[in-house]
Structure 1
Amino acid sequence: MNILLAHNNFPGQFHRLAVELAADPANKVLFLSHYRRKDLNVPKVEWRQVPLPAEENTPSSPRKKYLTLLAQGERFADAMVALRKEGYRPDLIYGHVGFGCCIYAPDIFPDAAHAGFFEWYYSADADTRFFAGNKPVALNTRAENRQSNMCTLSALKECVLGIAPTEWQRIQHPPEFLHKIHTLHDGIDTQFFSPQANKTPLKLKSLDLSQAEEIVTYATRGLEPYRGFPTFYRSLPALLAARPKAHVVIMADDRAAYSGKRKDGKTWKDVLREEVHVDESRVHFIPFQPYDQYRALLRASDVHVYLTAPFVLSWSMLEAMSCGCLLVASNTEPVREVVQDGVNGFLADFWDHEALARRVVACLANRAKLDQVRANARKTILARYALHKLLPRHVALLKAACYLNQAQFPKR
């Protein structure tokens, strides 16, 4: 079977799936993307780079989003047309619908089965309402959300089925299309992300905390409001005062992955360090690390903090739970789908930095009594998110997409 995967990044959420599909001798897997991670091994998968579109020069933010998505779709379309000229005919196309990768795919390969990865559908509710509070959602924000959904709506109409990683993410999509979308997480490698039998001191290539008695960890792609960085950083003075032997490790890149850049040109790290004064000898910023270093951090953690707005749930929370971390997480919808307060982790108000500090301090003070909570965190991941259980379901769903396509469209 010829399988065409399309994503902005190679391999993105499709890493393990691509490897699994390519391991079957009956399959030939080809991957189109703009960007490529060279540190990940993806054997037997052919990768082709899609050129980036020229940046549109327009002052209108909503229109810029719209034009960018269309331009990305056109670049992927060019790559697909080139493949078609080579005689390539995919049986299945599976793409991340939010990036516009596959918006023209049904026109180029009309006989293929089209399946979509549906990560998020933007609306005036969920994350938008969460940050707007009691204020009306700005017209520009509504317009930009509508532009962001353009490719998703097209994919909902064209696909035979879709996959969303969590039920929370699935139900953001229009109800008339929910019958097409299956809830199925990408999966966590529970063999790799596992507790260490005998906990060892933390000594990374970029940081030596082998003498630290308590370590609080926070790990995310970017330092930004969507992942609760302002609340977390504002909690640190009270936390450090209450636990004088504690160190805090913040593993993240100094950027905003989801929240957008600040208008003043500063990063959220700059702003928070100006606003909040902490003992910088006990607060350690390090860029996001390779997986072995990242796992070492999670294994050494005494309390791991994860905060998110009502938005896409990060792998990092599930990876921390798989490592048996004592988790303090935001009391928001995507987290509550996984975490039961006091059972497999603890919840705290996303906005309340004082309450967050109290929660973390209490966990540090009582961590010797909370081994069962750690164990339950790992059990949750083993039961519901283990990669070895979910990968066969992904493969089965994509095969089902081919059968559905043949039944619905014997020949287009």
Structure 2
Amino acid sequence: MDQEPLHVLWIEPSFPGRLGAMADWLVRRRGYRGWFFCHTAEPREDWPASAGQGLEVQTFGVGGVAREASVTWSRTLERSLCYSYGCWEVLESRRPRPVDLIVGRSAMLGSSLFAPVYAPSPPRVGFFDYYVHARANDLADEDAAGAPAAYSRWRRSVNAIDLLDLESADLPWTPTRWQRHLYPREYRDPMWVQHDGVATPRDPSAVLDARAGQPRRTLAGRTLPEGTRVVSFAARTLDRLRGFDRFWTLANAILRARRDVVCAIVGGPVVERGLDVHHHGKDYAAGLRAEAPAVDPERTWFLGRCSRATTAEVLSASDLHIAPGRPYPVARSLLEAMGRGCVVLASDTAPHREVITPGRDGLLADPGDPDSMLAQALAVLDDPDGHRPLGEAAAETVRSRYSREACLPRIAERFAELAASRRRG
């Protein structure tokens, strides 16, 4: 379907962030033009190809309490408003024109909250990740007893900015049904459920053929001896939310049971998510390793925060990818592992059940039963050929439902329809 290219104003806390790949695809594949306003940007080598070639990136500062190095839980509302206002100030000074559509990722900061003050006419799409419940999901149940009182108050108020964004969005949007069901009932019906897509191999069949042939593999510059089994874990940071504590216990048990396993761990050391109130800003993995040292440090490879290319290399070499996280939006690394034909063993949670059908395209295990999780892991490592159909089915699931090639054309269609309806109106 031919469409007139749109001019899109993108707003997100960081670039490329979650929206950057989407903006890049629309510029390169559909001829869109856009401005990407962000508070911080990753190093330029991590920017997509269209940056400066149809996608202009503009950072903006924030004022008030948001400039402080540490912000207390009770002042996050002020921080969010300062962030939103900082974006509006730079919009007013740079005045990007024309704008057919505004797409903002709230991220609990209200990215596009004040954008309609600058451009009231274009329809506004709001991308929403997560609605925090006071006593449920993520680490709430586990941390309730020892959490500071200020943290409990924060959990009850942190959604305020997202609710303001929801009130003014023409199209509220979230990636999965589980994420939609977290929001108050009155906001669910108009909320569009559509994943934004993850990177997948350009030639999936070649990746699957390489797995079947078991060629000599390298991993982050290291050669893997023939016959080595690779167990992987990947997250932005090694934290409890993504289940690194559970992985560490399981990894040590696997290393005790098998001498031919290497555990490859991707992720930064410092916990960044404030939801982990007890370890926020700390090197959680270091403390965990001090309490329970690695069974075999030579076979436990901490790779740190890796480039996308290195992470893809790890996932392509992995015989078993473990994702034992708490109830929280599905990690992109899990979908990327599936897309590369990995056999994935994940914790049995509602968000994981939405993307994995156990026994068909992955495995699920009760995180409260470490013996069951270990048994499933060892079964895969004992017979990787017998479990390869799980990886092949996982790759097909991602190709058809969660790949950029599947998701981004649908998103482009919806954006075009929304802009066209506003023009007709």
Structure 1: how far apart are the matches of 2:82 and 2:331? 28
Q: Please, which of 239, 253, 258 is the counterpart of residue 238 of structure 1?
A: 253
Q: Decide whether the 8 Å contact of 1:30 with 1:46 is kept in 2.
A: yes
Structure 2: how far apart are the matches of 1:316 and 1:79? 33
C-alpha offsets along residues 168-215 of structure 1, whole Å, 9 cap, x if unaligned?
111111111112211111113333484252233332344333446211
2:102 matched to 1:90? Answer: no
Give the match for residue 30 of structure 1.
35
2:114 matched to 1:114? Answer: no
Q: Decide whether the 8 Å contact of 2:270 with 2:282 is kept in 1.
A: no
State the 1:114 CA deviation: 0.9
Structure 1: how far apart are the matches of 2:321 and 2:245? 16
Structure 1: how far apart are the matches of 2:26 and 2:395? 27
Q: Decide whether the 8 Å contact of 1:35 with 1:49 is kept in 2.
A: yes
Q: Which amino acid aligns with 2:264?
A: V
Structure 1: how far apart are the matches of 2:142 and 2:106? 26
2:333 matched to 1:313? Answer: no
Q: Decide whether the 8 Å contact of 1:196 with 1:299 is kept in 2.
A: no
Structure 2: how far apart are the matches of 1:264 and 1:392? 38
Structure 1: how far apart are the matches of 2:152 and 2:203? 39
Give the match for residue 390 of structure 1.
407
Structure 1 stretch displaced more, 266-275 or 351-360: 351-360
Structure 2: how far apart are the matches of 1:90 and 1:362? 55
Give the match for residue 242 of structure 2.
227
Q: Decide whether the 8 Å contact of 1:115 with 1:401 is kept in 2.
A: no
- The correspondence of residues 92-171 of structure 1 with structure 2, limited to 5 A, is 92-98=101-107, 99-128=109-138, 131-132=141-142, 140-171=150-181
Q: Secondary structure at the match of 1:127?
A: coil
Structure 2: how far apart are the matches of 1:283 and 1:29? 43
C-alpha offsets along residues 298-351 of structure 1, whole Å, 9 cap, x if unaligned?
121111111221111111111101111011111011110011111111111234
State the 1:218 CA deviation: 0.8
Give the match for residue 64 of structure 1.
75
Q: Please, which of 16, 19, 36 is the counterpart of residue 14 of structure 1?
A: 19
RMSD after superposition: 2.6
Structure 1 stretch displaced more, 369-378 or 259-268: 259-268
- The correspondence of residues 250-265 of structure 1 with structure 2, limited to 5 A, is 250-258=265-273, 259-260=275-276, 262=278
TM-score (norm. length: structure 2): 0.87
State the 1:247 CA deviation: 1.3
Structure 1 stretch displaced more, 242-251 or 13-22: 13-22
Give the match for residue 285 of structure 2.
269
Which runs of 5 or more residues in structure 2 are unaligned?
Answer: 1-5
Distance 1:4 1:313, change over 3 A: same
Q: Please, which of 350, 356, 362 is the counterpart of residue 339 of structure 1?
A: 356
Structure 2: how far apart are the matches of 1:59 and 1:7? 21
Q: Secondary structure at the match of 2:18?
A: helix
Structure 2: how far apart are the matches of 1:239 and 1:252? 20
2:86 matched to 1:75? Answer: yes
Structure 2: how far apart are the matches of 1:359 and 1:239? 11
Task: State the identity %.
Answer: 25
State the 1:264 CA deviation: 9.6
Distance 1:308 1:385, change over 3 A: same
Give the match for residue 353 of structure 1.
370
Aligned residues: 406
C-alpha offsets along residues 88-137 of structure 1, whole Å, 9 cap, x if unaligned?
35221100012321111122221121111111111125425753488598
State the 1:70 CA deviation: 1.4
Structure 1: how far apart are the matches of 2:151 and 2:419? 37
C-alpha offsets along residues 348-376 of structure 1, whole Å, 9 cap, x if unaligned?
12344343222211211122211211111
Distance 1:192 1:275, change over 3 A: farther
State the 1:59 CA deviation: 8.6
State the 1:58 CA deviation: 10
C-alpha offsets along residues 227-272 of structure 1, whole Å, 9 cap, x if unaligned?
0001110122321121122111111111223244646974211111
Distance 1:285 1:162, change over 3 A: same
Q: Please, which of 221, 228, 232 is the counterpart of residue 217 of structure 1?
A: 232
TM-score (norm. length: structure 1): 0.90
Structure 2: how far apart are the matches of 1:151 and 1:303? 39
Q: Larger relative contact order (C-alpha < 8 A, sep ≥ 6)? A: 1
Q: Secondary structure at the match of 1:34?
A: strand
Q: Which amino acid aligns with 2:49?
A: V
Structure 1: how far apart are the matches of 2:55 and 2:158? 30
State the 1:31 CA deviation: 0.6
Give the match for residue 197 of structure 1.
209
Q: Secondary structure at the match of 1:51?
A: coil
Structure 1 stretch displaced more, 134-143 or 396-405: 134-143
Structure 1: how far apart are the matches of 2:132 and 2:89? 27
